[in-house]
Amino acid sequence: MENYLYDVFFEASNLSDVALEHIKRYFKVRSRSGGGECVVSKVDKDIYKISFVNQNAQERVLNRKDHVIKINKQEEIHVSVRRENDFKCSEQPKASANQKVYKLDQYLLRFFTDCKKPYSQLEKLLSALSSTFEINIEAEELVVLRNPAAADVCPLKQWELGVDQVVDQLQFHYTVHFEVERDKYAILEKNCSNQNEDLKIYFEEGACLAVVVGEQNQVDEILKSTSHTQEQQQVKQECCVSEKQFPLIKEQFESYITSNLPELQIAHEQSGVIILKGLEKDVQEGEQKLSKLKKEIQEKRVPSNHALMTFLDSSDGIKHFQRRFQQSLYSPVMLETSGSDLLLLSLSDGALQEAAAAIQRDLSLEIIHLNNTEKSSAFPTLKEELSKAVKQANRESVKVELKYQNESSSDAKVQLVGFTTEVNELKNMLLQYKINHQIHQERLLLEYPEMAKHFSEIMSMAGVKECNGVEIRPTCSPSPCVHLTGPRCEVESLKETLVSFLRSLVTKKFEVKGPGVQQFFQGDGEQTLKLVKNSYMVGIFHVDDGQPTYQVSRYSTSLSYSGLASAPSTHQSPVYETKVHINVAVGSLEQQQADVFVVPMVQANMTSTLIGSSLLYKAGQQLQTNFNTAKRRCTLTPGDVLMVDATAGLGCSKVLFIECAPKGKKQESEKALRCGLGQVFTLCEQNSWGSVVIPVIGPGIVLSLPVRDSVNILTQEICTFLSQPTAFLQTIYIPIMPNYPHSEEMFRAVIGNLSAKMVDRTGQEY
């Protein structure tokens, strides 16, 4: 407070805190009051002090003396400032017994001085009371003097009462109006010729103040005429500003209008429109200020999709994020939908980045593929558990939504959309179901063909009586094995039991020679063998010498691979395998049917390769739209993979685009291709995809890799993937385009490489 040295004083009664704040704002604005930086404080009963930092501001305020401060359209405060605190008690000044002194408005006193008619009326009224009067404008006093000779005619008390009635009648009959609006001031100044003996207008040019004094009806009439003229002079301008933009700039805009354009009116008559009403120059200035503030609003688009946008609408997710951002971010962030994207608005780039990261982290969309649900007895139970989990998650507010797609088909899907935590909980339940109850097939290799022929006896020896829905199919061709098909949990449990039992078996081969051996084992000896089997829990099988023995293989002998889930035994014993089929087909990629298609591209352009262009031609423009939406979410470098939603015209649900390095840098191109293919296989497992179509990437004018190198990279990455445990991917399709110069070479190279990976140089499978 030590800097506020230059004081002015004013008198007012019953000022509220709101009124004091309006007074402070008024005297802070030089264009309105002549003042500047100041504080307002109360120094005594009904006495207030305004303290300025600058002495010039103090002088400018004192020069105007009378100030009118509008609180709203109906209420205003009149403030008369003085340099010294010489205010007396609110009672009228003391006088002698033969005079009365009345404090009246200086403009009312000037009116009586300047106009003969009201002056004569006052003179006549007081003369009837044997009195005269004096007007002191500087002191703002009306002094009524009593004729001493009238003391006997009119007693003092009766005289005082009569004079009071005259002054009250005077104040009732005449009124004083202070006009501070600039446009009304100009209208009154222009029409000052309307003054007469019953009406007077005083202009304080430096203060832009017009004071209208006169009979009540005369004052009302000229004020009504002034308002009508003002209404005709005003213009109205509609300014477009969205409901999400305006809250960000509202405080700054309204503060500017209050300080610089107090007569400008702001209205909200319809959504997304602000109406400015006032003088044309004020409206133009207000519109320019609003436009400038709108340009300061920064935007950030968060790519989304229809499912997420629908969830945000149905769950009031936008309000949730706005409330959260209001509490956690230093600058407000507003959200609105824009097509399939979410648009973030803020005056701070930092707040935008934080908000976008939070939305992308906290919202998720997952589509889980479930095969053969119509055959699964556990699927109805899963649906009940999922329904309970959704209700629990949404008990306070909507956090997650679940939808079944193609439920009655063999390719059922479950869509999960909502907040990441709740989505992941439901996703884990679905993945656990897939692990335990999806129809699954395993192959158990056997040491001898006779074990396959008599596998029911081996089952009895192992103590397996119930198969719990698992189909057991032994076969001797092309190598002895048992196929187990059924719910994954039951298949794996049965296989674990059988593997453990088979590894504990000891086998020994006996050769029995001599005449009548065959007849013996087919006759009396058969009963003997049964007795031995039952007594000693052994299996005795007849060996056909014409049947070759088999080695236990790590890979199957057809174009199929098996990913290992445990290390192979040093003995000839069964190995835990998950079979993956590799289908080399003649035809284009877009003709195939699988969960996922893999497409190469360069510089994030889906039509930069012939494969991408052909795919777009079949899928339609919607695929390009989906591609652009996905691309906006990330920055791609060579080796990255972009996941795009497929369209109805394609035989897949997803398309994975591998960002390749342009031709000319062979090492970089090969590295990017290996990295991309590795990511493709990882995504297949993460998303529970059962099949994928991968063309031979590299040959052609765009990448210009040799056929042999391209095929080597593809087959090596396939074998690298299959050398580790696999849970979901069951089929890999490799399409070879026909009628191209290198089609036959590519086909032979693929078949040759895959065959070489299955059989070593000695001719034995490994």
Closest by Cα among 528, 668, 693, 730 to 615 = 693
Closest by Cα among 301, 309, 727 to 488 = 727
Task: Give the position of tokens 């008690």.
Answer: 89
Closest by Cα among 644, 603, 610 to 735 = 610
pLDDT interval class at 479 (50, 70, 90) = confident
Closest by Cα among 129, 76, 74 to 98 = 129
Q: Where are the beta strands (DSSP E) in 361-410?
A: 363-371, 400-405
Residue 578 near residue 444, CB atoms below 8 Å: no
Q: What is the mean pLDDT of residues 564-591?
A: 57
Report how far residue 312's alpha carbon sits from residue 316's, in angstroms, rounded to the nearest whole number. Answer: 6
CA 534 to chain centre: 72
Burial class of residue 86 in the structure, from the number of CB atoms within 10 Å of its CB (0-12 exposed, 13-18 middle, 19+ buried): exposed
Residue 766 near residue 605, CB atoms below 8 Å: no
Query: What percent of the chain stands above pLDDT 90?
Result: 13
Residue 344 has pLDDT above 80, yes or no: yes
pLDDT of 193:
77
Residue 535 near residue 555, CB atoms below 8 Å: no
Is domain 6-80 annotated with CATH 1.10.10? no
pLDDT of 695:
93
Is domain 440-505+524-550 annotated with CATH 3.30.1370? yes
Residue 698 has pLDDT above 60, yes or no: yes
pLDDT of 762:
33
Closest by Cα among 304, 300, 289, 294 to 345 = 300
Burial class of residue 765 in the structure, from the number of CB atoms within 10 Å of its CB (0-12 exposed, 13-18 middle, 19+ buried): middle
Residue 50 has pLDDT above 90, yes or no: yes
| Domain segments of the chain as ranges | 6-80, 234-295, 440-505+524-550, 577-758
CA 22 to chain centre: 39
Q: What is the mean pLDDT of residues 404-412?
A: 75
Tokens of 534: 């039952």
pLDDT interval class at 552 (50, 70, 90) = very low
Helix (H, G, I), strand (E, B) or coil at 234: coil
One-character DSSP codes across 110-161: HHHHH-HHHHHHHHHHHHTTTEEEEEETTTTEEEEEE-GGGGTTS-HHHHHH
Residue 553 has pLDDT above 60, yes or no: no
Average pLDDT, the chain: 81
Tell me the per-residue pLDDT of 427-478, one tens digit each, with 9 for 90 and over.
998 888 877 776 777 878 887 888 888 888 888 888 887 777 788 888 886 6
Task: Name the strands in the sheet holding 47-52, side by side, starting at the edge strand that comes first in the sequence.
Answer: 6-11, 47-52, 38-44
Same fold, 6-80 and 234-295: no
pLDDT of 172:
86
Burial class of residue 246 in the structure, from the number of CB atoms within 10 Å of its CB (0-12 exposed, 13-18 middle, 19+ buried): buried
Pick the residue with more confidence: 560 or 526? 526
Residue 483 near residue 473, CB atoms below 8 Å: yes
- DSSP type of residue 268: E
**CA Rg value for the chain:** 48
- Domain 234-295: which CATH class? alpha beta
Q: What angle, rounded to 10 degrees, do the helices at 488-504 and 420-437 form? A: 50
Exposure letters 344-380 (e unless 16+ CB within 10 A, then b): bbbbbeebbebbbebbeebbbbbbbbbbebeebebbe
Burial class of residue 401 in the structure, from the number of CB atoms within 10 Å of its CB (0-12 exposed, 13-18 middle, 19+ buried): buried
> Which residues fall within 8 angstroms of residue 749, CB to CB, at 6 or more apart?
707, 708, 711
Report how far residue 549's alpha carbon sits from residue 560's, in angstroms, rounded to the nearest whole number. Answer: 22
Tell me the per-residue pLDDT of 206-219, one tens digit each, with 9 for 90 and over.
667 788 999 988 88
pTM of the complete model beyond 0.75: no
- Domain 577-758: which CATH class? alpha beta
pLDDT interval class at 88 (50, 70, 90) = low
Helix (H) or strand (E) holding 48: strand 47-52
For residue 441, give the amino acid letter. Q
Residues in the chain: 766
Tell me the per-residue pLDDT of 634-671, one tens digit each, with 9 for 90 and over.
888 899 999 999 987 888 889 999 999 888 778 888 99
